Structure formats: C-alpha cells, structure tokens
A and B are shown apart, each in its own frame.
Chain A
Amino acid sequence: METIKAMTGDEVAAETIRQINPDVMAAYPITPQTEIVQIFSEFVANGLVDTEMVRVESEHSAMSACVGAASAGARAMTATSANGLALMWEIVYIAASLRLPIVMPVVNRALSGPINIHCDHSDSMGARDSGWIQLYSENCQEIYDNLIQAVRIAEDKSVLLPVMVTFDGFIISHGTERVKILEDEQVRKFIGKYNPRYPLLDIDNPVTYGPLDLFDYYFEHKRQQVEAMKNALDVIKKIGGEYAQLSGRSYDLIEEFGSPDADLVVIAAGSTAGTVKGAIEELKEEGINAKLLKIRAFRPFPQDEIKQSLRKVAVVAVMDRSASFGAVGGPIFLEVRSALLDEERRVPVVNYIYGLGGRNIGIEDIKKVFQDLIQIKKTGKVKNLVNYLGVRE
C-alpha cells in the first residue's frame, strides 16, 4: 500500500535510506545535503534503523569508512555535495576500483571557487570518469525510486560498481513535492539481502584488498571495470522493469517526453528536464511540436538509446549545467555529439550551458532554446555552437 507524503528532496533521501536500512552510514555535513544526515541521525537516535552511523571528520573519511565497511561485507552509504565530493575524489575512484556496491546521494551543488552553495552539475560531472554509475533524478519521486533501484543495480553480480544518485541542490533538495512511498517491507523485499563478495569479516577466507598493482596487471583490472559499465546498461533496464512491476513507475536509461515524432529535441538532465517538460506543454498549445530526451543514466552513457531517440530529428539542443573549461562545450553535449558521429544523417547539435552556480532557468528560457532550434532548422545555419544561457554579457 503506497502512501503519499509531502517531502523535500533531502527528506525523501533520508526516508529512502531508512527503508534501505544500510548496515553502515558515514555522515559529514555539507549544504545542501545536511538535512539528509540530520534526519537520518534522528532515525538512528530513535532506534528506527539498524544502521551504525559513523560521524566522520571529513568527506574523505566518509568515503574511506564506506570503503572499509563495504569491504568488510556491510551495505554502506553516505551522501555529499560539491566540495565534499571533490574532497573524497581520491577515494571515490578507489571505491569503484575495488568493485564495492556503495550507493551515495549527491545533492548537486557548484564546485568552488568562488564558493557557491547553489545548484549546478559541476560536482557529479567532475566525477564522471571515476567509475561510478551516475543516475540523475528529475524530482523527489525519482530520488526515491532511483535510490531503491541503485542498491540492486550496484549489487548485481555482473556490475558490482558504486552508484551515485544525483538531485539538484535547493531546487529539489529543499523543494516540497508529492512523493509516493512504498511500504518498508516492499522496499526490503525489492532490495533483498546483501550477499557481499569476499567480505573482510569472513575471517576463515582471508583476502587482500588493494594491493600494489603494477603495469603487469593494472590495465586488466581497469578493463574489468569497463566491462562492468557495459553490463550496467542492461542491468539498469532490467531493474527498471522489475521496479515498474512493484511501483507502477517504469524507468529506463533515458526518458522521452512530448511528441514522439517531433523533430526539435532538447536534451537535459536533472530538474531542468522538468522545466523542459513544462515548456513543451506550452509550446504544444502554441502549435509547436517538441520533444525532451532526458538523460537518467549518464554513466554508463546510453549511446544506443540516444541514437535511437534522435534518429528522426532535425535539430538537437543539449543543455549542460556544468562547463568543461577548455573543452568545446559541456560534457553531455560532447558525448551526445560523439555518439551521433557514426549516424548516416548529420544533424545539427548545439550546446546551451546554463544555470551555473544556481542561476535560474525557467520555461521562457527553454522556449527561447526551442525558438533557436526552429531557426536552425529553417536556415540550416548554426550561429553559435556553444551558448551560455542566462549569463549577463
């Protein structure tokens, strides 16, 4: 029996972690993630979870403790944002390389400097090469659904990779929405029991984690990680299907919204995907057919699904809420463009870098993007390959 609750993103994250009931939770506060660890601390103090909470002294130690706990054979989680993720960067890579199924909400916030506590995707995009699976949540419901599925995805024997579930700082983390919550028992049954691989606490079968891996074997171990990411594409779809059976809400690597045969497409991830949906509905009233291709899984990159979705379009705008300084465009743009290179028909793809440091983006801004696309379709000419939407010139 589902209940409907009014919750902010952070509240949902905390509630989901309560239902997941991990064995260990490492916690270090950073705005706008702090509510997650505060609310969870109340669960711990009130005996509502079995979780051992480790109130570490830095994010680097948070991920280190998660690595220790997961290697020991426990379900381990933590949560962070921006500079917290940056500080744990070293260990984030190690967690993936040790094939530990750690699940971590990342409340998207701009990386310093200058210091800014508002939303952009520079933090999770900065970790895109780390070997973690990355799922972008559009709204509070998706935080809930993604975190639950993340446990199954991470622990799948053909994957065994940590998963970061992102959601936009303040916009989603501190905004109240209606969320459908499953029963504790339903969640527990869905995620199942954790069967750790070679736990340290199995003292009868001693193993060594983290040896010195020289040029004779390091490459092979990295190649294994590549394969795991490949397997994750299917696993994310499979778990999405299973979750649909449980909740009635289906999930895939991407989501399409709007007229399926529209030839104007905007690609976006995170809360802005929701804004694009709003713009598309308004454009429909104005007689304009438009489509959203929402990126849910950015890692592994769903190349085939994206190519399939864009096969019949005329022009594409990719929205990036992070910049890659010195690159020709943002991270999602570069990877989409690369994916389309082998297509028979060449389609103009333009980039809109927006919302850095929490700069607001609204329906009117998105409608402008679609107007640009209409122009490109008409004239066949691209004025600016990379645009900065919302910055004051």
Chain B
Amino acid sequence: MPSLKDLSKKEELFSSGHRLCPGCGAPIIVRQVLLAVDTPVVVGCATGCLEVGTTIYPFTAWKMPWIHNAFENAASTISGVEAAYRSLKRQGKIDKEIRFIAFGGDGGTYDIGIQSLSGALERGHRFLYICYDNEAYMNTGIQRSSASPRGASTTTSPAGKAIPEGKTEYRKDLTQIVAAHNIPYVAQASPGYYNDLMKKVQKALSANGPSFINILSPCPRGWRYPADQTIEIAKLAVLSGFWPLYEIENGKYRITYKPRKKKPLKDWLESQGRFRHLLKEENKKVVEELQKNIEEKEKKLLALAGENA
C-alpha cells in the first residue's frame, strides 16, 4: 500500500458537500475504499444513508458513473452493469478496463438485499460488494436489522420494562453466509484500520470473480456516542473481539490483525448509548452471554484459520 502522503496526491472521486451526519462512518469508508482503487470504476448504491445523503437532486458527491436503483437490488443492478460491460467488451465496443463496486448498508444487504446479493455471487459477476454495516436501518430512524447486535436498543427493539434486553436475537453472520458462496475473496474490515481496509479492497478488486467486504460503519446518531469518537469506536470493535478483521482468499482463512492488547467487552458496551441499559443489574446475565458468544466466535475463527486458541 502506498503511504498516506502518496495517497493524498490522488484525485478523490468522492466530493465534500455531501449531507451525511458529522462524524458518520460511511463517508470515511467510501473515501478509504476509493483511495485503494486504481482503475476506472462504476459504483452502484442501495437505498440508505449513503445513497440519500450523497445524491440529493441536483447535488451529487460522486465523481464517477454512479447508479441507485432501489433498496434491495444493488447487487442485481451492478450485475446488469457488469453484464453490459462484458457483452460490449466481447463485441469489441469497449476496450477500457473498468471495475464495478456496489455499496449497500446492512439493511439493504443482510435483510431485503440478501437474495439479490446471493444471486449475483452465485452467477460469478466480477464485482466488489461492500456492506457498510451500521447495524440498523439508520436512514429511516434506527430500526433494528438482522445485523443489529444482541442487546442493542433500537427504535424497533427498544429496551423496555417487559423486554429489558433490547434486541433479543444475536446478529446474523453475513460474512460467513457470503463465504459459503465460495467466491474468490471475502473479508471483514474497519475504517479504524485503513491500511488493512485498503489492502483488502485491492485484493478484492484483483479477484477474477465476485468479492465481498463487510465493513463496520459506526453511527454517532444511532449508536449514541459523540461524533468525534467514530474512529475510536471503529478500533474498539476490533480490539474487543466484536468485529474481527479477517479475510478468506480462495477458501483460505487468515486473521489479518491480532490486537496486541485486547479490550474487554465492557469497554465496547460502555462506549455507546445503545447498550447503556445492559449495564443495569437486570441485564447482567445478558452481558455474560454476550461475552461468551464473542469468545466462541473467536475460537471458531481461529480454528478456521488453522490456528489454536
């Protein structure tokens, strides 16, 4: 990866003037992803914070060809663009090398978009799908998605008198679901570790087939923390074991970052208002179970990577 100094000389294809919240994780992710891209690229976006905040007519923050179609079909829309490219290239009507990136939030990827993502992955289109995972339907007001972690208080799973826990279900492991499609490259990343993220984007784009990177996108508004903490929280997610950084290259697992000093899960929970209720006595057992869950997942991941706990 080139140094930040070298990267700073690149023309950025994502402009200022977008209307995402101050401190939002999504535009940080987009900037880092695009800095890692070295070929012309066409971008597709699912409906969501990123799409809505960056393209309020007549303003667009995107400086490359960009398409938004609907909520659940970023993958099938980009499939069409990629198929058009393959067709026109084969017919000799285009000779440029162009790559295709689809951005979808967790809502548009884990839930309503999972079918179109799965179809696109199985068909083998050469595209990179990036899920910016802020763990809820943030754009419509912080409603829970299947990516919301167990214990999170969201507007459709609020912590209340009868259900003090908040969301009672563990989150879906979409990265594993995507891995089961046996595509050439799958990874998890965090904007707090930009070198790791950008390396993964480059590997993904050079794969000759579909690739997927699940990137944690902290949300100051939805997770309830001060806007300046986004990167700290993006790091804390990794350090606490909540969001491990790993990649699967042609089926081979590799943990790409091992924190020298781990942070306790308690730090992760205390850093965000969405978990505040978990610190109450009545939710003590839930926190223990969450801790156990993280440890089990870590063991599983180590085993998949061929390492011992």
Which residues in A have some Cβ–Cβ distance to B below 8 Å? 23-24, 26, 50-52, 54-58, 60-61, 64-74, 76, 90-91, 94, 200-203, 206-214, 216-217
Task: Name the distance in Å between B289's Cβ and chain A's nearest Cβ.
Answer: 36
- Is B94 part of the contact surface with A, judged by Cβ < 8 Å? yes
Question: Which chain B residues in 86-115 approach chain A with CB under 8 Å?
Answer: 86-88, 90-91, 94, 96, 98, 115
- Is B64 part of the contact surface with A, judged by Cβ < 8 Å? yes
Interchain CA distance A214-B53 in the complex, whole Å: 12
- Is B58 part of the contact surface with A, judged by Cβ < 8 Å? yes
Closest 4 CB pairs of A and B: A68-B80, A57-B119, A65-B80, A74-B84
- Is B69 part of the contact surface with A, judged by Cβ < 8 Å? yes
**A60, A70, A72, A91: which contacts B85 (Cβ < 8 A)?**
A72
Contact A51 B73 (CB under 8 A): no
Contacts of B90 in A (CB 8 A): 50, 52
Contact A208 B73 (CB under 8 A): no
- Is B63 part of the contact surface with A, judged by Cβ < 8 Å? yes
Contact B57 A24 (CB under 8 A): no
- Is B40 part of the contact surface with A, judged by Cβ < 8 Å? yes
Contact A208 B66 (CB under 8 A): yes
Task: Name the distance in Å between A95's Cβ and chain B's nearest Cβ.
Answer: 9
Task: Name the distance in Å between B291's Cβ and chain A's nearest Cβ.
Answer: 38
Which residues in B have some Cβ–Cβ distance to A below 8 Å? 40, 42, 44, 51-52, 55-58, 60, 62-70, 72-73, 76-88, 90-91, 94, 96, 98, 115-116, 118-119, 122-123
Interchain CA distance A52-B66 in the complex, whole Å: 22
| Given the contacts A55-B123, A57-B115, A211-B56, A203 and B79 also touching, CB distance less than 8 Å | no
| Given the contacts A60-B116, A68-B67, A217-B58, A200 and B73 also touching, CB distance less than 8 Å | no
Query: Which single residue of chain B is at the shortest CB-CB distance from A196?
Result: B84
**A68, A74, A202: which contacts B77 (Cβ < 8 A)?**
A68
Contact B68 A72 (CB under 8 A): no
- Subset of 17 A-B contacts with CB under 8 Å: A56-B119, A56-B123, A57-B115, A57-B118, A60-B76, A64-B77, A65-B79, A65-B83, A68-B44, A68-B79, A74-B83, A74-B88, A90-B70, A209-B67, A211-B60, A212-B57, A214-B57
Since A52-B86, A201-B98, A212-B52 are in contact, a sample of 19 more A-B pairs with Cβ atoms closer than 8 Å, ordered by chain A residue number, is: A23-B91, A54-B83, A56-B76, A57-B118, A58-B115, A61-B119, A64-B70, A64-B77, A67-B80, A70-B84, A72-B81, A72-B85, A74-B83, A76-B80, A76-B84, A200-B65, A201-B94, A203-B42, A211-B57
Interchain CA distance A389-B204 in the complex, whole Å: 61
Contacts of B42 in A (CB 8 A): 72, 200-201, 203
Interchain CA distance A55-B69 in the complex, whole Å: 19
Query: Which single residue of chain B is at the shortest CB-CB distance from A203?
Result: B40
Contacts of B81 in A (CB 8 A): 68-69, 71-72, 200-201
Task: Name the distance in Å between A100's Cβ and chain B's nearest Cβ.
Answer: 10
Interchain CA distance A63-B89 in the complex, whole Å: 22
Choose among B57, B68, B83, B90 the residue with the greatest number of A CB atoms under 10 Å from its CB.
B83
Contact A68 B57 (CB under 8 A): no
Task: Name the distance in Å between A296's Cβ and chain B's nearest Cβ.
Answer: 30
**A91, A200, A217: which contacts B57 (Cβ < 8 A)?**
A217
**A61, A70, A200, A216: which contacts B76 (Cβ < 8 A)?**
A61
| Given the contacts A61-B73, A61-B115, A211-B68, A56 and B56 also touching, CB distance less than 8 Å | no
Query: Which single residue of chain A is at the shortest CB-CB distance from B60?
Result: A208
Query: Which single residue of chain A is at the shortest CB-CB distance from B51?
Result: A212
Contact B119 A58 (CB under 8 A): yes
Contacts of A58 in B (CB 8 A): 115-116, 119
Interchain CA distance A74-B79 in the complex, whole Å: 13
Task: Name the distance in Å between B32's Cβ and chain A's nearest Cβ.
Answer: 20
Contacts of B94 in A (CB 8 A): 201
Interchain CA distance A71-B67 in the complex, whole Å: 8
**B63, B70, B84, B96: which contacts A24 (Cβ < 8 A)?**
B84
Interchain CA distance A379-B168 in the complex, whole Å: 72
Contact B68 A209 (CB under 8 A): yes
Contact A68 B56 (CB under 8 A): no
Interchain CA distance A50-B66 in the complex, whole Å: 26
Contact B79 A210 (CB under 8 A): no
Contact B70 A72 (CB under 8 A): no
Interchain CA distance A70-B69 in the complex, whole Å: 12
Contact A207 B123 (CB under 8 A): no
Query: Which single residue of chain B is at the shortest CB-CB distance from A220?
Result: B57
Contact A56 B79 (CB under 8 A): yes
